[in-house]
Amino acid sequence: MSTELSNFLSIDIVVLAVLVLGSFLYTFMLSRGKLLAILISTYMAFVLAHFAPFLNGPGGIFGLDFYILRIIVFVAVFLAVLFLLSNIIFQTPVGAETLGWFFVFWLSFLQVGFLLAVFFSFLPEEIIQTFSKFLQNIFASPNALFIWAFLPVVFLAYIGFRINKNMDELEDEDEEEEE
């Protein structure tokens, strides 16, 4: 078995399993709400961790490489912002009970893909090169992070249009019943 093939069968399958299984688990977790809070937390944590000036440059801090520190900062900011948004700002849940399982699964899939692309963006090039070309193209290519960040926004816009259309139809039915 070639090195590339064995690499694909080990690391790639694990990453793809995280994407698929994470999407299913995420779908069930979202049934209680917090969809928008998680998405916004992901974007905010990524921006803050990726562009933090103290996480750039040669070397590291506390004996840790900067890519590890970026992942730690990302997770810490993500959890802090999620807590603030979930418990203070967003009190209305948006999940499977509002959108349906189909839409929640696909939004979960897109968001888990975005999270994986974010983590790949923190890794140094020599670690990224250990993954197969397949995973590099999907999660670590120059356009991958943009695409994974953009797709959930487009999907949310689509969901918003559908919800507004359904709400308009319900209002029309209510008006007809009142007459």
Place of tokens 């953009």: 150
Q: Is residue 156 part of a domain?
A: yes
In this prediction, residues 26-40 reach a mean pLDDT of 69
Q: Is residue 162 part of a domain?
A: yes
pLDDT for residue 53? 66
**What are φ and ψ of residue 175, in 5° steps?**
-65, -40
Q: Is residue 115 part of a domain?
A: yes
pLDDT for residue 143? 84
Q: Is residue 69 part of a domain?
A: no
Q: Is residue 108 part of a domain?
A: yes
* Exposed/middle/buried for residue 72 (C-beta within 10 Å: 0-12, 13-18, 19+): middle
pLDDT for residue 169? 65
What Rg value do the Cα atoms of the chain yield, rounded? 20
pLDDT digits (tens, 9 = 90+) for 66-83: 788 888 888 998 888 887
For residue 5, the tally of other CB atoms under 10 A from its CB is: 10
Q: Is residue 74 part of a domain?
A: no
Q: Is residue 57 part of a domain?
A: no
pLDDT digits (tens, 9 = 90+) for 144-176: 887 888 888 788 777 767 766 766 665 666 566
Could you list the residue range(s) of the whole structural domain that residue 35 is in? 3-40+93-178
Count how many domains the chain has: 1
Residue 17 and residue 48: Cα distance in Å, rounded? 28
With cut-offs at 50, 70 and 90, classify the pLDDT of residue 18: confident
pLDDT for residue 138? 92
Q: Is residue 34 part of a domain?
A: yes
pLDDT for residue 139? 92
pLDDT digits (tens, 9 = 90+) for 83-140: 777 765 555 445 545 567 777 788 889 888 988 998 898 898 999 998 889 989 999 9
pLDDT for residue 54? 72
Residue 56 and residue 51: Cα distance in Å, rounded? 8
